[in-house]
Structure formats: structure tokens, C-alpha cells
Homo-oligomer: A and B are copies of this chain.
Amino acid sequence: MSQPLRLGIAGLGTVGIGVVKIIQRQADLLAKRAGREIEIVAVSARTRDKDRGVRLNAYDWEDDPVTLAQRADIDVFVELMGGADGPAKAATEAAISSGKDVVTANKAMLALHGQQLATAAEAKDRVIRFEAAVAGGIPVIKALGEGLAGNEIERVVGVMNGTCNFILTQMESTGSSYQEIFDQAAALGYLEADPTLDVGGIDAAHKLALLASVAFGTKVAFDDVQIEGIERISIEDITLAADMGFRIKLLGVAQMSGRGLEQRMSPCLVPANSPLGQLENAMNMVVLEGNSVGQIVLRGAGAGEGPTASAVMGDVMDIARGMRLATFGQPAKTLADARPATTSIPAPYYLRMKLLDKPGALAKIATALGAAGISIDRMRQYGHTDPSAPVLIVTHKTSPSAISDAIEGMKEIDVMVDEPVAIRIETV
């Protein structure tokens, strides 16, 4: 058996403790699989005196994660502190410059500084692995970057924020408002300290930008992700979408075409009977589409101690086994600049509006859509007790700009109550 692989773990929150537990609980199993022992040498966290439910006294303690990262007696720096900058980035840079491999769950840091960190690591012949940063326990970075390495990747679609999916599916199953379920999620501890990271789509957009880099061989381009959160999704839209055979998901889509690279994280309708449509509660799902493999669907827990620690350990085991791969699948210096698509690929849209119940009202809407070049696939007007009638339209494929034009045109229509709601329908 080879020398043990020696870890320094910075960050002893849920995931860090999960990693410690795995290594303590099944050291023999890991050693048998890796051909060497996996050994924790030292740990670091903000507070030392805190009962974390595991024995840590066999490990050296470092107050400063940078000092931990530089220790000569570790091989791999396991960064589980989080935060795009600050101590996480400083310690990761220190680890790289002192010749360590890095395993991290830090999607924000890599979404913002991935290119710089990967370049630095490769200059030192070191790797950064980040399976735990995307979709929790689902080995999607591995599936995409290794398993499907023979494919030209066409599209990556996914639900990558369990909290948002929890909120949306709970709204549907209970009929409660967004705010009611948001408050419940907050009480359950499901939300980040800054909840806009979750419900604003930013956390999921970080993940999407990392997936896009691996999928398309482009530099991480988080700033190019079009981000829209779920805050505007009403229970009415969820109910009416269901009536049309759809469910609303916070959907990430990364797609390469002649238009360039499109990266969107936004609420979309998906067919209720599709794998994505059937995804309940806090689960994650990523759909990978390649020119040879067709469509691969991966589903699992997107967060939590066990699943995320499992992903960290997958990366640690790869390094222990000598399986080394450039951070984004190919050397950072060979990654292309992402040319952002200026407009989205056409798609059908869901349009909800309220019309005064007057003769010719529907005709005026249909005319406005026609004027914008949008044709109607399905239309439903619902019964109502107040003077305005809810009307739902599913369009044929059209461009986002045509939808904007149509909505602009509808503002002139005297029968329109409130502004129409438009949500893209993603075909998956």
C-alpha cells in the first residue's frame, strides 16, 4: 500500500463534519478502495470550542486556514468554509502556491475566480476538484466531464437549488402563497443567511456557470448568466400551469449554438410528466444532452451533510487513486472565451392575463400577439366571479423579444387588467 493521503480540512460546518464522519466511520473501506489510507492531519474552523458531535482531538488544530493550507504535512486542502472571497480564497491560493491539491464545495468562489485559481493550480501541476459545489451528492461534474467526454455537449438543464424546488412544490401541494412557504422554509433552516442567494437564483446560477464551463470548454462566465429568481411566482401561476399540464421550476439552462453560449437561470414551465416536472421537494436533477449519448438524467439530494460530504469524498478518492484531471476538464489556458448569446433560442411561452369580460376582449389579445408574430398553440378562459376573466395562452415557439413586444403592445389594450405574466416553457 502507498503512503496515506493526508488531508487538511478547513471549515467544520455541516459538510466538513460530514467528511470527518465518513473518514472516521469507514476508514478501512476507503483504504481498500484507494489502495492507501485517507488520513486527516489537521483541521481549522472559526471557533475551536464547540461540540460538533465528532472527536477532533486526534487532529492538529489551526486557527488560520491559510496556515493549515500551507502545512508541509498535508497533500490535499479540503476547503469547506464557503464565501467567494475572504479566507476561503486566501487559503485556497495558499494551498495551491504551496503545492497542494484542493477539493472544495465552494461554488461562489469558483464561479467568480475559477479561471484564476485553475490557472494557478495547473502552473503547479495541482488539481482543484469541486464535485460538491454542484448538485450536492449527484456526481454530475464527473458524469459530464469524464463519462460523457466523448460527446459534444448540446445542452445542460437542471434544477440545482433544492430550496427553490421545495418552495415551488410546497406551494403547489398546499395551495399556499410564496410568502407563506418562504417563511416555512426559513423556519426549517433551508435558506442561506442571505436568502436572495437561494430564491434570487444566484446560488443556482453559480452552479450553472461551472457546469457550462465543463460542458463547453469555455471559461467560467458567471456574469453572463441571465438570472431571475422565483419571487414573482404566484400560486395562481402554479395552479394554472398545472391545469395546462406543466409545473414551474427554477431551471438552469446552458446551451451552445450558433448564437453563442446561452446561460439562463430562471423560472420555466416544464411538462408535468417529464422527469424534471416530477421532481419533488428539495431534490436536484440535472439533464445532460450530448450528440452521441442523447439525454442522461441524474437525480439526487442537492444538499445536506451526507450527500455533499459524499461528493467531497468522491474527489478525495480520485486524488488518492491518482486520477487527476484539470479543474474544468482541460487545462484552464485552453478554455475558450465564452461568447454570450445575445438572444435566447426560441421557445413556447405561457402567458397569463386578466381581461375585462367585454365583447371582443380575446380578439384584441390575439391581434396583439399576431402583430408581434406570435402564434397561439392553446388558449383557455376560466370562469370567474369578479368582472375580469383569467385567460391563459400557450404560444408556439417564439423569441423572448417577440414576447416583450407583445406585452408592450398589450399595455395599450383597454380590456387588460394588470400586466400579463410571461414564463418560458422549456422543452426537456
Contact = CB atoms under 8 A, between A and B. Distances in A.
A298 to B, nearest CB: 6
B143 A18 contact: no
B294 A297 contact: no
A195 interface: no
Interface string A290-327: 11111111111100101101111110111001111100
Contacts of A298: 296-299
A323 B33 contact: no
A280 to B, nearest CB: 10
Interface string A267-298: 00000010100100000000000111111111
Nearest to A330: B33
Nearest to A279: B275
Given A148-B314, A298-B298, A309 B292 contact: yes
A390 interface: no
Contacts of A258: none
Contact of A150 (B151, B292, B301, B314): B314
Interface string A109-150: 000000000000000000000010000011100110011111
Nearest to A138: B296
B139 A148 contact: yes
Contacts of A376: none
Interface residues of A, number: 59
The 8 A-B pairs of least Cβ separation, nearest first, read A150-B313, A139-B147, A149-B317, A293-B310, A137-B293, A292-B310, A297-B299, A292-B306
Interface of A: 18, 22, 26, 29-30, 32-35, 131, 137-139, 142-143, 146-152, 217, 273, 275, 278, 290-301, 304, 306-307, 309-314, 316-318, 321-325, 329-331, 334
Given A139-B142, A294-B301, A323-B324, 18 more contacts: A18-B292, A30-B150, A34-B149, A139-B296, A142-B143, A146-B318, A148-B310, A149-B317, A150-B309, A150-B312, A150-B313, A150-B317, A151-B310, A275-B275, A293-B301, A296-B298, A318-B323, A323-B323
10 contacts: A30-B150, A32-B330, A142-B147, A143-B143, A149-B318, A150-B310, A292-B307, A293-B306, A297-B299, A298-B299
